[in-house]
Amino acid sequence: MRLDIASSQGVRSTGSAAPILTSEKINVIYPLPSGDVPAVVDFGIDIGEQEFVGLVGESGSGKSTAALALMGLVRPPGKIVSGEVRFHGQSLLSKTDDELRDIRGREIGLIVQNSRSALNPLLRVGVQIANVYLAHHKASKAEAMQRAVDSLETIGIPDARRRANSYPHQLSGGMAQRILIAMATINEPKLLIADEPTTGLDVTVQAQFLDALQTRVRESRSAVLFVTHDLGIVAHYCDRVAVMYRGRVIEEAGVRDLFANPRHPYTQRLLASSSNRRQSFRERASGTPEQ
Ligand code: ADP
Ligand code: MG
């Protein structure tokens, strides 16, 4: 079976790509009675135009906290104690909540892990997606609703108009997850930060969403930071990968380099423990064995 590696060049850093987001020395703690838990330690990642960057590591390694910290959104009692994040050169961590909210809906899309509770139980999901569009565009409600339906179709929701009329409690977990994806992507953000957004989705649906995302990243000069534990997805879609272990990025490399020559012993173990899964994303998605 051959390795299912993305057809990208797998550059190590943003290099020639214009940077969209740069960050350094982010430290996040969770204060507990027994002492502060350093959840993220000196974290930094740079993301350039047209890059699909993966963030991997075992559960508890700090991926979700780091992804939220990039947007200044660590939930209390968690606290960002230091760090710098620049988005198109503007410092994000010094912005007010209102300024961050504006950037978040429009220029940076965020899909938080296990965020079904972010859906308002009292509103039809189509209205909720359309509202994200209306918050940042001058458009009629009908136009916004059409956008919402289009975005649901893009991520493979059959009978999208009917689905748009559903309330959250009428949807399966996978369907609710796709609503959240639609909300995070409807404004075509320059950067999408997505924390395990496809976990729990049928693999064919995952492939449809990831293919569309990859095409958009390449064609619209946007970028993605994709948090996942699925090394098959990393191998197939990511250009570059950062590996977290105990709150730190312990290795960062182009995806080809990482799979061919993992340097850190933890990365070697991570790859070894999932060698079957990383080889077969396309196979899983198509249901046909690779040559
Ligand atoms: P990952 O996404 O890689 O699974 P997390 O960012 O969720 O990792 O967690 C990183 C560390 O922070 C873990 O040690 C976790 O126990 C701790 N942590 C996360 N959320 C909280 C919280 N609300 N309170 C206390 N500790 C937390
Ligand atoms: Mg997580």
Express each pLDDT in 225-274 by its tens digit: 999 989 999 999 999 999 999 999 999 999 999 999 999 999 999 998 87
Query: 210 C-alpha vs ligand 1 centroid, how far in Å?
Result: 26
Residue 89 has pLDDT above 90, yes or no: no
- From the CA of 68, give the closest atom in ligand 1: 6
Query: 80 C-alpha vs ligand 1 centroid, how far in Å?
Result: 13
- From the CA of 195, give the closest atom in ligand 1: 2
Looking at all shown ligands, the one closest to residue 60's CA atom is: 1
Inter-residue contact 169 to 121 (CB < 8 Å) = yes
Q: Identify the residue whose tokens are 């209390």.
A: 76
Considering the entire predicted model, what is its pTM?
0.89
| Burial bucket for residue 70 (CB in 10 Å: 0-12, 13-18, 19+) | buried
Ligand 1 pocket test, candidate residues 34, 37, 45, most atoms within 8 A of CB: 37
Say what the pLDDT of residue 154 is. 84
Looking at all shown ligands, the one closest to residue 65's CA atom is: 1
Query: 26 C-alpha vs ligand 1 centroid, how far in Å?
Result: 15
Query: 35 C-alpha vs ligand 1 centroid, how far in Å?
Result: 14
Mean per-residue pLDDT, 86-110: 92
Query: 62 C-alpha vs ligand 2 centroid, how far in Å?
Result: 7
Confirm or reject: Cβ of 59 under 6 Å from ligand 1: yes
Confirm or reject: Cβ of 39 under 6 Å from ligand 1: yes
User: Could you give the C-alpha distances from 255 to 17, 25, 66, 154, in angstroms and in order?
Assistant: 16, 23, 20, 27
- Which of 3.20.20.70, 3.40.50.300, 3.10.20.740, 3.20.20.10 is the CATH number of 49-64+99-280? 3.40.50.300
- From the CA of 28, give the closest atom in ligand 1: 12
Calpha distance 81→26 (Å, rounded): 8
User: Which residues does residue 226 pair with via DSSP β-bridges, in sequence order?
Assistant: 54, 194
Mean per-residue pLDDT, 36-45: 96
Neighbours of 113 (CB within 10 A): 14
| Average pLDDT, rounded, for the chain | 88
Say what the pLDDT of residue 8 is. 39
Looking at all shown ligands, the one closest to residue 248's CA atom is: 1
User: Per-residue confidence at 124, pLDDT binned at 50, 70, 90?
Assistant: very high
Mean per-residue pLDDT, 29-43: 95
- The length of the chain is 291
Query: 44 C-alpha vs ligand 1 centroid, how far in Å?
Result: 17
Calpha distance 198→153 (Å, rounded): 16
- From the CA of 66, give the closest atom in ligand 1: 6
Residue 156 has pLDDT above 90, yes or no: no
Looking at all shown ligands, the one closest to residue 112's CA atom is: 2
pLDDT tens sequence across 185-194: 999 999 999 9
Q: Identify the residue whose tokens are 């710098």.
A: 84
